[in-house]
Amino acid sequence: MSLYATAVKKPITTALCFVAVVIIGLFSLTRLSIDLLPDIETNTIMVLTAYPGASAADIETNVTKIMENTLNTVSDLKDITSKSKENLSIVTLEFEYGTDIDVATNDVRDKIDMIRSVLPDNSDTPVLFKFGTDDIPILILSVTAEESMPGLYKILDDKVANPLKRISGVGAVSISGAPEREIQVYCDPQKLEAYNLTVEAISAIIAQENLNTPGGSFDIGSNTYNLRVEGEFTDPKQLNDIVVGVYDGRTIYLRDVARITDTVKEREQEAYNDGRRGGMIIIQKQSGANSVNISNEVMKRLPAIQASLPSDVKLGIIVNTSTNIENTIDSLVETVLITFIIVMLVVLVFLGRWRATIIIIITIPISLIASFCYLLISGNTLNIISLSSLSIAIGMVVDDAIVVLENVTNHIERGSAPKQAAVHGTNEVAISVIASTLTMLAVFLPLTLITGMAGILFRQLGWIVSIIMIISTIAALSLTPMLCSQLLRLNPKHGRLHKIFFTPIEKALDALDRGYARLLTWAVHHRAVVVISAILIFGGSVMLTKVIPTEFFPTQDNARIGINIELPIGTRTEISRDVALRVVKEFQEKYPEIKTLNFTVGQADTDNTFGSIQTNGTHYISMNIDLLSVGDRERGLLEICESMRQDLKKYVEIKTFKVLAGGGTGGMASQASVDVEIYGYDFATTDRVAKEIQQAMEQMKSCSGANISREDYIPEYQVDFDREKLALHGLNVATASSYLRNRINGTTSSYYREDGDEYDITVRYAPEFRQSVEDLENVLVYNNEGKGIRIRELGTVVERLTPPTIERKNRERVVTVTGYVAPGAALGTLAEEINAKLKDIEIPSEVSVTLSGLLEDQQDIFFDLYILAAMIILLVFIVLAAQFESLTYPFIIMFSLPFAFTGVFLGLAVTGTPLSVMALIGLIMLAGIVVKNGIVLIDYTNLNRERGYSITHSVIHAGRSRLRPVLMTTLTTVFGMIPMAIGTGEGSEMWRPMGMTVAWGLSVSTLITLLIVPVAYTIFAKNGVLISRRKRAKNQ
């Protein structure tokens, strides 16, 4: 018993089976989490090795090189890059996509264990660190405060960070910008000297005074008591009264030699929100947690948290990634709904009967909802890719149902009872329905095989569309015949309204049929003209490729801008802050689009996780700008960025700056850039080449700015001790330098405890005594004899420039010049221009220059996709050849393919869209979609010939009678793509090229296919007849 016969016989079972599928699908939908993109696993591991006291060059030779040489042998390694800074070596291992990162981590750990003994003795144990998309903060809150400012850190830590950390899924909550309390003991060096005291001595005394000691337990009578000495300070003021020594019989208190202030840490990162001082709370999620759920949960708790804060502390939102995700997903859901309605209208117009329309349309929600089960089972999320896959599939799932319904209707019109008609009608087309689904699978299943970055994105697309196609075919072969048998009637009565609406449509369609038949008659009699003009059209469109630029991924307008401003190295925080505030003021006046503007300035503390990963320093300003969402402003993201770049250029005090569209979160959202990597050992040579390339890039129109990765040489003061003099005084470098450190940096002598929190008690020179080189030279170093010797007598203080951070890639020193693509220009163009320019720049033989960055990824992916396209075309050919059991017919059908490219090139050229990965995927999908029309035409022409018509007559008759189904399936697909192609919602930049490619390619190819395929068929068939006649003549 066949599937459709059973389905028609058991309508209740069939209906309920599909109801069950829908229920399971909807259940899955409620369990699915929402995210922007499919999970992109991290593929990098960082190895951090600290070697205190070593300079960048020392680190490079003694740590980094050894690490690189060993780690280079780990399997599946793509690139190995490193940074050697003062005290720290960072080796970054980038693995091929799809590598199991846990296995890789173990490999790396094994290798590190092997070389542990080779590393310098003083170096710390290397630390492994995995950084992936999960580490990008999902939420950044702003905090402004007035009178509570000094205690802000504690307030935020207790009242905000701790409650937020308890939300499940929240990873780290870091507070930045809020000052942290510290008890400062500021010593006066002269008084210290006068009383024969040192910073070390004071520090030790404080530590000894600030102590709780358990004294054991003892028995009194029948009871046991514990003994304790509680010496810890209960108030910072108690520090004043500590006795630090006796001089001339007089007791010296700490207040006599130092001033004690209960204040905040000296150097810290300051945060400003909309120009007002405040703090930032950065929330990161745990790996694998759902960003949208977490940020919704945080949002839900915020009002309660706000209520518990002092009235002057206000919380706000700087970055909420979930808004972007939700808006994107909402606009996609909208697209899917619009597509659904459009497809329904197309079907209604062509069929003119609402019952038939319902039968066809019902397959859409069923197939789509069923795909949610797949998403849940495979652990995926609702994201851009899965939802746009749904949108792509809508136009195509109805095709099978249309074919079945059309044939069943034919049977009914010939007099069959609906039940019989449903069984026999479906039986007749089942094979060709399955074949056309197979061609689609031949396109979409290989998509699941793509590797690399694109693979992560398109695996889901491939699976979803394949699954939807399979389900829609099953529905077309069971549900559709069942519904036909239940709903369709012979010659249904039409109402008056129906006549008013459909009579003109019917007339127009009839006229179209007649017109097309006439055109086709002319075409098959003027085959040469048609073929030549087709070749000309295709040739012409190939010329268009010259004007179509290429890019990797379209830049997404996520309404976020990140700006990094660097002032000359060593600029004081106060000055940087002043510049930042001026920039903020200008921006706020000039760009009404800015919703919130927040910046941080200054050195980040080491316990601020997020802050310390980013580049920071007293001269470094990093800004986060949140714009109004796309729909609410006229200027685009890139336009605003460009204008900001022009503004920033006017500030003379700024050394370099970066304006990153998309907030610099990396991935596909950020602005495209070309990296020029300059390999070479000698700093001076590579610096010169880098400068030249940067200057050349900045002059290019397609480049909106260029940065050099190598940082400036850092000016610093060094104390050169004279070892002989040191030895003479019984000192060594370690002792002398620790004296210096304790006076300038200070020493944390003890902790002051209050309400369960600990605060550092730091002892050092008061700020006014450490402001000049002289102050340094006057520092007293005491030797074992208790004699004080000034630094000036032990050595000299000199200013020096130290080597910058040494960056290496694949075990060679490298400098990267990054050029950002200007708005309107494409990645490919810039790369070409740079390549051309590189020829003019004189590059020494020991230096090599290569282009990389996004461009490298782009070339990799494009290459993958071209291979894939070739494979898909071959697979489609195989499916077709199997269906027709012939090599000629598939060949004829393949004539539609070049014109799909014609349509795509035309579309890209007309709309000025660059050829991106998304467009290329659209192109690949076309390979499966466009041949469908050819299949329908050829199949019916063959049928006519088998029925005994002449070749010409068969071709014309087939064309005429298949025009409507062809137009209908094409229009459902094309209109299905249009909402995607013209979408303006948030995130629509991403899939717009894909929708546009399919829409243009399919329309143009269909129009030309309708002529070229019949003409090609005539040519081949007539030749075939001639050949067989000749053979027969020979044999006779």
Partner 1 sequence: MKAIFIAFDQAHYEDVYSILTHDNCRGFTYWQDVQGRGSKSGEPHYGSHAWPSMNSAILTMVEDDRVPLVLKALHTLDESKPALGLRAFVWSIEKAI
Structure tokens belonging to residue 616 = 């920071």
Q: Which stretch binds partner 1 (CB under 8 A): 127-135, 138-146, 303-311, 409-417?
A: 409-417
Residue 19 Cα to chain centre, angstroms: 38
The verdict on 415 binding partner 1 (CB under 8 A) reads yes
Smallest gap, in angstroms, from Cβ of residue 411 to partner 1? 7
Pairwise CA distance, residues 1026 & 1031, whole Å: 9
- Kindly tell me which residue out of 417, 512, 1025, 1026 binds partner 1, with binding defined by CB under 8 A: 417
DSSP 74: S
Q: Which stretch binds partner 1 (CB under 8 A): 421-429, 475-483, 512-520, 585-593?
A: 421-429
| Count of residues near partner 1 by CB under 8 A | 17
Q: What's the 3-state SS for 396-419?
A: HHHHHHHHHHHHHHHHHHCCCCHH
Pairwise CA distance, residues 230 & 213, whole Å: 7
Tell me the CB-side half-sphere exposure of residue 248, using CA atoms within 13 A: 2
Smallest gap, in angstroms, from Cβ of residue 426 to partner 1? 11
- Kindly tell me which residue out of 33, 420, 609, 886 binds partner 1, with binding defined by CB under 8 A: 420
For the chain, helix (H) and strand (E) counts, in that order, are: 34, 30
Pairwise CA distance, residues 687 & 166, whole Å: 49
Answer left, alpha or beta for residue 481, where phi above 0 means left and psi between -120 and 50 means alpha: alpha
Smallest gap, in angstroms, from Cβ of residue 419 to partner 1? 8
Is 269 strand, coil or helix? coil
Q: Which is nearer to partner 1, 426 or 598 (CB)?
A: 426
Pairwise CA distance, residues 172 & 139, whole Å: 11
The verdict on 1 binding partner 1 (CB under 8 A) reads no
Closest Cα to residue 202, out of 256, 250, 248, 249? Answer: 256
- Kindly tell me which residue out of 148, 427, 451, 737 binds partner 1, with binding defined by CB under 8 A: 427
Smallest gap, in angstroms, from Cβ of residue 477 to partner 1? 16
Is 786 strand, coil or helix? coil
Inter-axis angle of helices 917-946 and 951-981, to 10 degrees? 160
Closest Cα to residue 977, out of 343, 426, 250, 177? Answer: 343
Q: Which is nearer to partner 1, 589 or 946 (CB)?
A: 946
- Kindly tell me which residue out of 83, 85, 181, 411 binds partner 1, with binding defined by CB under 8 A: 411
Structure tokens belonging to residue 20 = 């069950």
Q: Which is nearer to partner 1, 296 or 416 (CB)?
A: 416
- Kindly tell me which residue out of 180, 193, 262, 428 binds partner 1, with binding defined by CB under 8 A: 428
The verdict on 512 binding partner 1 (CB under 8 A) reads no
Smallest gap, in angstroms, from Cβ of residue 880 to partner 1? 15
Q: How many beta carbons lie within 10 A of that of residue 646, not counting itself? A: 10
Inter-axis angle of helices 418-447 and 384-413, to 10 degrees? 150
Smallest gap, in angstroms, from Cβ of residue 480 to partner 1? 18
Smallest gap, in angstroms, from Cβ of residue 886 to partner 1? 12
Q: Which stretch binds partner 1 (CB under 8 A): 422-430, 635-643, 826-834, 1014-1022?
A: 422-430
- Kindly tell me which residue out of 424, 645, 688, 811 binds partner 1, with binding defined by CB under 8 A: 424
Classify residue 427 by burial, with Cβ atoms within 10 Å: 0-12, 13-18, 19+: middle
Q: Which stretch binds partner 1 (CB under 8 A): 230-238, 424-432, 724-732, 785-793?
A: 424-432
Smallest gap, in angstroms, from Cβ of residue 883 to partner 1? 11
Smallest gap, in angstroms, from Cβ of residue 958 to partner 1? 12
Q: Which is nearer to partner 1, 373 or 429 (CB)?
A: 429
Closest Cα to residue 642, out of 598, 588, 703? Answer: 703
Q: Which is nearer to partner 1, 424 or 770 (CB)?
A: 424
Q: Which is nearer to partner 1, 728 or 943 (CB)?
A: 943
Q: Which is nearer to partner 1, 765 or 1017 (CB)?
A: 1017
Smallest gap, in angstroms, from Cβ of residue 101 to partner 1? 54
The answer to whether 50 touches 129, Cβ cutoff 8 Å, is no
Q: Which is nearer to partner 1, 32 or 435 (CB)?
A: 435
Q: Which is nearer to partner 1, 419 or 635 (CB)?
A: 419
The verdict on 10 binding partner 1 (CB under 8 A) reads no
Q: Which is nearer to partner 1, 5 or 445 (CB)?
A: 5
Smallest gap, in angstroms, from Cβ of residue 432 to partner 1? 10
The verdict on 799 binding partner 1 (CB under 8 A) reads no
Q: Which is nearer to partner 1, 110 or 413 (CB)?
A: 413
Pairwise CA distance, residues 344 & 360, whole Å: 9
Q: Which is nearer to partner 1, 276 or 953 (CB)?
A: 953
Q: What's the 3-state SS for 439-466?
A: HHHHHHHHHCCCCHHHHHHHHHHHHHHH
Q: Which is nearer to partner 1, 215 or 415 (CB)?
A: 415
- Kindly tell me which residue out of 311, 946, 1035, 1036 binds partner 1, with binding defined by CB under 8 A: 946
Q: Which is nearer to partner 1, 421 or 696 (CB)?
A: 421
Pairwise CA distance, residues 573 & 579, whole Å: 10
Closest Cα to residue 277, out of 651, 661, 653, 602? Answer: 602
Smallest gap, in angstroms, from Cβ of residue 945 to partner 1? 8
DSSP H helices, 912-987, are 917-946, 951-981
Site track 42-61 with partner 1 (rule: CB under 8 A), x = hit: --------------------
Measured at the alpha carbon of residue 986, what is the angle toward residues 980 and 990, in degrees to the nearest 5?
Answer: 50
Smallest gap, in angstroms, from Cβ of residue 438 to partner 1? 17
The verdict on 947 binding partner 1 (CB under 8 A) reads yes
Pairwise CA distance, residues 703 & 946, whole Å: 63
Pairwise CA distance, residues 832 & 595, whole Å: 37
34 DSSP β-pair partners: 382
Smallest gap, in angstroms, from Cβ of residue 862 to partner 1? 42
- Kindly tell me which residue out of 199, 421, 597, 1012 binds partner 1, with binding defined by CB under 8 A: 421
Pairwise CA distance, residues 1001 & 910, whole Å: 13
Is 812 strand, coil or helix? strand
Q: Which is nearer to partner 1, 413 or 506 (CB)?
A: 413
For tokens 């309508």, name the residue.
Answer: 11
Smallest gap, in angstroms, from Cβ of residue 11 to partner 1? 16
The verdict on 121 binding partner 1 (CB under 8 A) reads no
| Count of all residues that appear for the chain in the document | 1036
Q: Which is nearer to partner 1, 416 or 707 (CB)?
A: 416
The answer to whether 837 touches 672, Cβ cutoff 8 Å, is no
Smallest gap, in angstroms, from Cβ of residue 407 to partner 1? 9
The verdict on 419 binding partner 1 (CB under 8 A) reads yes
Smallest gap, in angstroms, from Cβ of residue 943 to partner 1? 5
The answer to whether 841 touches 697, Cβ cutoff 8 Å, is no
Closest Cα to residue 965, out of 346, 471, 341, 338? Answer: 346
Closest Cα to residue 844, out of 686, 683, 676, 675? Answer: 686
**Residues 906-945, interacting with partner 1 (CB under 8 A):** 942-944
Binding site for partner 1 (CB under 8 A): 411, 413-417, 419-421, 424, 427-428, 942-944, 946-947
